[in-house]
Amino acid sequence: MDFVSTLSAMFESPLMQRALIIAILVGTTAPIIGTYLVQRRLALLGDGIGHVALTGVAMGWLAGSAAGFDSVGALAVPGAMVAAVVGAVLIEVAREKGRTSADVALALLSYGGIAGGVLLMGIAGGTSANLTGYLFGSISTVNMLDVWLTVGLAGLIVAVGIGLRPALFSLCQDEEFARATGLPVRTLNIAIAVTAALTVSVSMRVVGVLLVSALMIVPVAIAQLVATSFRSTMAVAMLIGTSVCIAGLTTTYFQPLSPGATIAVLAIGLYVLVAFLRPLIGRRGRTVQAKLNTSGKTTTTTTAQAP
Amino acid sequence: MPSPLVTPTPAVRTRDLSVNFGTGRVLDGITLHIEDGEAVALLGANGSGKTTLLKALLGLVPLEHGTAELYGVDVARRRLLPWDRVGYVPQRVGFTSGVPATAAEVVASGLLSNRRLRPVAQSRRRILAALEQVGLAGRAGERVHTFSGGQQQRVLMARALVRRPDVLLIDEPLAGLDVESRESLAGTLSALRRAGSTLLIVLHELGELEPVITRSVILQRGRMVHERVAVSSPDGQW
């Protein structure tokens, strides 16, 4: 079978169709909230929430087991969602109250989350191996219910992340000023925390909780190397997130590799490439600009953008 | 029949205001009235409580005792405060975050309030006008983190001015600025005062802003120790 016919078979496969839909939605939405986290210097928040989500997965298993479900893992994703939201709100409350610094709260939640997940899974009668799919992703097992759930959550993330962008930008850029303008800072902080938790829950099936931060943060890290504004950073990051998800998933159709790891490595590889090329492009740009200046041409290209 | 005498609501009013940080008292029994159109300098040494008083007026720090009001509304009742009438310029904001932001994006933040989570119509025009007001015309699309300290301070001023506030609370606007930036700022504030804005400015010394100031209030270890009306006529207006 040649490459084209294999590619054609991939797009005709219902399993790959579902996986691609989810990958595109996750690749598009994860960098939205990642942009705010990077701006707030909370890039590792996704990691912390991901670890808490693992406890939620195990709680879902425990509940499924207690309820006598045929598929004991049926409540794993809803459990992860609830735990992620609770964990994210707890981190936010700890940060707001100032009783402990955000990074310490994050560390406590991370360690507690992963340890709680392993312990509860044991109590539920499972083994740590049952957690592997959630640790590293299991996009090949998604069903139509997962697709609709992802569509709904992605819609919510877009509505909050893009609909409230001016207010969230203000909050992340200067929280004290946001408070001094009367913005509902506490509500907006909770909105970011909950949206981050939902993003983790959505991304979990694609890249797994251990690599969820990669999908939220690395596209933003690449975008900020080339973008000129907050809005364009978010847009470029969404484009990069979608592209690496599609490329990663397609790669795993041809090679027996882990989709989550492949997507993360592709994203990091792209970061290294752009970081390496950027000075060269910048130098060439400066040379062109110097020539234009010498010839007396105007080179001002600034454009006003509001978030 | 003559109309009854109506006392206008002062822009800023505090009564016996005290603030504690931990067990230490940072502000103690501050009673202050600032009428519309005044330009008041809040002077004092480091740690005298100037910035804390400014933040207490905006509800950014909790009061231990007393009250603070903006246009007659207690700052504790945040939802009822006339936020659109109030502008705030902090001393310094680090624009070093990895996510680039343009001057226009930063200034647009000043258009938001408790009832407005997205910029108003005509926001672009207002943003450009505010940047022009602080001498940064034509730089709206540039990344703020590439600006000098003085230029970043002007962006913060534009962010407050874009609200078209009636009262402007400014924290140490001259700190770390070169002579050119200080004179530019003095010009901007002078124009605002002529337009009738109320100013409350935290300063170490009056410096270039002396002609703008109508009254000075001096704080020492959290207490108001002196209040002085400017002898010279500000801006030669009176």
Contacts of A304 in chain B (CB under 8 A): 102, 104, 124, 127-128, 140-141
The position carrying tokens 């979990």 is A204
Residue A145, judged by CB atoms within 10 A of its CB (0-12, 13-18, 19+), counts as: exposed
Q: Which residues contact A239 (CB under 8 A, 6 or more apart)?
A: none
The pLDDT tens digits of the residues spanning A28-43 come to: 999 999 999 999 888 8
B109 in contact with chain A, both atoms CB, cutoff 8 A: yes
DSSP label of A128: G
Q: Is the pLDDT of residue A304 over 50?
A: no
The pLDDT tens digits of the residues spanning B80-131 come to: 999 999 999 998 777 766 789 999 999 999 999 988 888 877 899 999 999 9
- The pLDDT, as a whole number, for residue B231 is 52
The position carrying tokens 């294999």 is A6
B70 strand-pairing partners: B12, B73
The position carrying tokens 């509940």 is A63
Positive or negative, the Cα torsion across B211, B40, B92, B81? Answer: negative
Answer for the pair A219, A266: CB distance below 8 angstroms, yes or no. Answer: no
Give CA–CA dist A243/A271, Å, rounded: 13
Cβ A229–B105 below 8 Å, yes or no?
Answer: yes
Contacts of B110 in chain A (CB under 8 A): 181
Position B221, amino acid:
R
Cβ A173–B78 below 8 Å, yes or no?
Answer: no
Give the least confident one: A4-8, B23-27, B234-238: B234-238
- The pLDDT, as a whole number, for residue A67 is 80
ipTM entry: 0.89
Give CA–CA dist A281/B146, Å, rounded: 19
End-to-end alpha-carbon separation of chain A, Å? 49
Give CA–CA dist B198/B55, Å, rounded: 17
Cβ A38–B118 below 8 Å, yes or no?
Answer: no
Give CA–CA dist B159/A180, Å, rounded: 12
DSSP A233-293: HHHHHHHHHHHHHHHHHHHHHHS---HHHHHHHHHHHHHHHHHHHHHHHHHHHHHHHHHHH
Cβ A182–B114 below 8 Å, yes or no?
Answer: yes
> What is each CA distance from A217 to A31, A52, A244, B66, B94, in whole angstroms?
6, 18, 13, 46, 21
Give the Cα-Cα-Cα angle A49, A61, A157 (nearest 5 degrees).
35
Cβ A302–B142 below 8 Å, yes or no?
Answer: yes
CA nearest B111 in A: which residue?
A181
Give CA–CA dist B71/B59, Å, rounded: 14
B132 in contact with chain A, both atoms CB, cutoff 8 A: no
B53 in contact with chain A, both atoms CB, cutoff 8 A: no
Q: Is the pLDDT of residue B68 over 90?
A: yes
- Under DSSP, is residue A216 helix (H, G, I), strand (E, B) or coil? helix
Nearest to B113 among A182, A221, A300 (CB): A182
| Per-residue tokens: B125 | 């025009």
Gyration radius of chain A over CA positions:
21
Answer for the pair B222, B27: CB distance below 8 angstroms, yes or no. Answer: yes
A38 in contact with chain B, both atoms CB, cutoff 8 A: yes
Residue A161, judged by CB atoms within 10 A of its CB (0-12, 13-18, 19+), counts as: buried
| Per-residue tokens: A146 | 């997962």
Shortest Cα distance, chain A CAs vs residue B80, angstroms: 10
Shortest Cα distance, chain A CAs vs residue B116, angstroms: 8
Does pTM top 0.80 for this prediction? yes
- Across chain A, mean pLDDT equals 85
Strands laid side by side in the B223-229 sheet: B86-89, B167-171, B198-203, B39-44, B215-220, B223-229
CA nearest B122 in A: which residue?
A306
Q: Is the pLDDT of residue A194 over 90?
A: yes
Answer for the pair A154, A203: CB distance below 8 angstroms, yes or no. Answer: no
Q: Is the pLDDT of residue A236 over 90?
A: yes
B86 in contact with chain A, both atoms CB, cutoff 8 A: yes
Q: Average pLDDT for residues A218-237, to the nearest whole number?
A: 95
CA A189 to chain centre: 18
Shortest Cα distance, chain B CAs vs residue A229, angstroms: 5
DSSP chain B: -PPPP-PPPPSEEEEEEEEEETTEEEEEEEEEEE-TT-EEEEEE-TTSSHHHHHHHHTTSS--SEEEEEETTEETT-GGGS-GGGEEEE-S------SS--BHHHHHHGGG-BTTBSSPPTTHHHHHHHHHHHTT-TT-TTSBGGGS-HHHHHHHHHHHHHTT--SEEEEE-TTTT--HHHHHHHHHHHHHHHHTT-EEEEEESS-GGGTTT-SEEEEEETTEEEEEEE-SSPGGG--
CA nearest A307 in B: which residue?
B105
Contacts of A170 in chain B (CB under 8 A): 109, 112
- The pLDDT, as a whole number, for residue A4 is 82
- The pLDDT, as a whole number, for residue A99 is 59
B91 in contact with chain A, both atoms CB, cutoff 8 A: no
DSSP label of A28: H
- The pLDDT, as a whole number, for residue A293 is 53
Q: Average pLDDT for residues A172-185, to the nearest whole number?
A: 93
Shortest Cα distance, chain B CAs vs residue A222, angstroms: 10
The pLDDT tens digits of the residues spanning A131-142 come to: 788 888 877 778
**Test mutation, B54, B91, B109, chain A, max A CBs within 10 A:** B109
Answer for the pair A37, A211: CB distance below 8 angstroms, yes or no. Answer: no
B162 in contact with chain A, both atoms CB, cutoff 8 A: no
Cβ A233–B141 below 8 Å, yes or no?
Answer: no
B229 strand-pairing partners: B215
Q: Is the pLDDT of residue A18 over 80?
A: yes
Q: Average pLDDT for residues A272-300, to the nearest whole number?
A: 67
A112: region left, alpha or beta (phi > 0 left; psi from -120 to 50 alpha) = alpha
CA nearest B54 in A: which residue?
A180
